[in-house]
Each structure stands twice: as C-alpha cells, then as structure tokens.
Amino acid sequence: MPSSIRVFGVVAAALAALTAACASTGAVPKPFPGATSPAPPGATPPSVGDRPGTAHRPTLGPTESYALVGTALSLRGSPYRDGGSDPAGFDCSGFTQYVFAQHGVQLPREVRDQFRLGRSVAPRELAPGDLVFFSTTASGATHVAIAVGGDEFVHAPTSSGVVRVEHLSSSYWAPRYVGARRIQN
C-alpha cells in the first residue's frame, strides 16, 4: 500500500474520531449525586421532559442559571468519554444532564430529546444556562452545550478533548448551530 494512502487512512480515522462529537449512544448514565437541596422523603423528583416540549418545576431562574453555569465551568478539564455522565468522563448530553441534575432538574439522556425541551430561544436572546445545539455528525441536533454568556458556551466536545469553553462565532461552531432551548421561565 503506498504511503500516501496509508497517511490518508490515518488522517481520515483521526478526523472521524474528532468530529464524532456527541450523538449520544443512549448509554444509561450512572446515578447522579443528589440535587443541591434534597427533596423531602416520598417527594417525586423534579423532572423535565415527561412530555416533549414541556418543563416541570423546579425551573431555573436567573440566579440559579448563573449557579448552573458555575457548576458547568467547575468541570472544565474533565475528560470526554463516550456514554460518560460523571466527572470521570462526559459525552455532551451526559455533561448537560449531570450539570442540570446538580441543580435539581432532570434532563433526558439523548441530545434529540433535550432539544425538544423548554422553549426555543433566538440567538440574540441567549442567556447563561440555556442549552445550545449543533449539528456535527448528522442533520438535526447531534451535539449539546450550555451557554455561558456573551459568545461563549461550555461543553464536552470530542473523544480527544476535555470539557471546555468555546465561542459560538468560531468558524467551526457557527455554521453548525441549530438552535437553543431555555429550561426555565
């Protein structure tokens, strides 16, 4: 096999791994640590997404949204792990699900299911804590992140990366943006 074909094969495999972002595998996440304020015995845990497009209390107000972003930012540097949903390793939807659970809001595991929640948010109305969606591996929402504020978002990007902050306006992310959802009033 000519060396140029071998090099092309290696480059193609590396590119596939890097762009495999996070069309969640559907892996079942490990149990999450309890929410920041424990529910009373016998209470039904708060959830989001029992019905597509609906959010159930508790929802996040502005103060809680900033706390949620703080939690997300505190996880910077955590490794990417396909199907991961805890600080030992996250994929994109495992990351968002974990962060929201720390604030008493349960999200479904799959990116496409998270994309059906809350209400749609125009790009100019993005606020800290909004879920931001991208199309990276197929048409439609296949990757999810959390808006930090301004032009930034935090996410678990690829199999070769770590949880990090990036810019919505970057040449990679801007053309892949498909929408944002707000899981709050």
Q: What is the pLDDT of residues 89-134, one digit of tens each?
A: 999 999 999 999 999 999 999 999 999 999 999 999 999 999 999 9
Look-up of token digits 């790009």: 123
CA distance 91 to 110: 10
**pLDDT value at residue 90:** 97
Give the total residue count for the chain: 185
**pLDDT value at residue 59:** 56
Residue 184: pLDDT band (50, 70, 90) is low
CA distance 172 to 163: 17
pLDDT for 70 beyond 90? yes
Candidates 61, 43, 76, 17; CA nearest to 185 is 61
DSSP 39-106: PPTTPPPP-B-SSTT-B-SSPP-HHHHHHHHHHHHHTTTPBB-TT-EETTEE-HHHHHHHHHHTTT--
CA distance 47 to 31: 15
pLDDT for 77 beyond 80? yes
Q: Tell me the average pLDDT across 71-93.
A: 97
**pLDDT value at residue 113:** 97
pLDDT for 177 beyond 70? yes
Residue 22: pLDDT band (50, 70, 90) is low
Residue with the bigger pLDDT between 128 and 51: it is 128
**pLDDT value at residue 49:** 40
Q: Ranked by mean pLDDT, which of 6-10, 31-35, 109-113 comes out on top? A: 109-113
Phi, psi (rounded to 5 degrees) for 19: -95, 5
Query: Interior CA angle at 101 toward 100 and 102, to 5°?
Result: 90
Look-up of token digits 């990116």: 111
Q: Find residue 54's DSSP bridge partners.
A: none
Fold of 57-185: endopeptidase fold (from Nostoc punctiforme) (3.90.1720)
Residue with the bigger pLDDT between 135 and 20: it is 135
Q: How many CB atoms lie within 10 A of CB 86?
A: 17
Q: What percentage of the chain has pLDDT greater than the value 70?
A: 66
Residue 159: pLDDT band (50, 70, 90) is confident
In the chain, what are the domain boundaries?
57-185
**pLDDT value at residue 160:** 81
Q: Tell me the average pLDDT across 3-19.
A: 39
Active site residues: 92, 143, 155
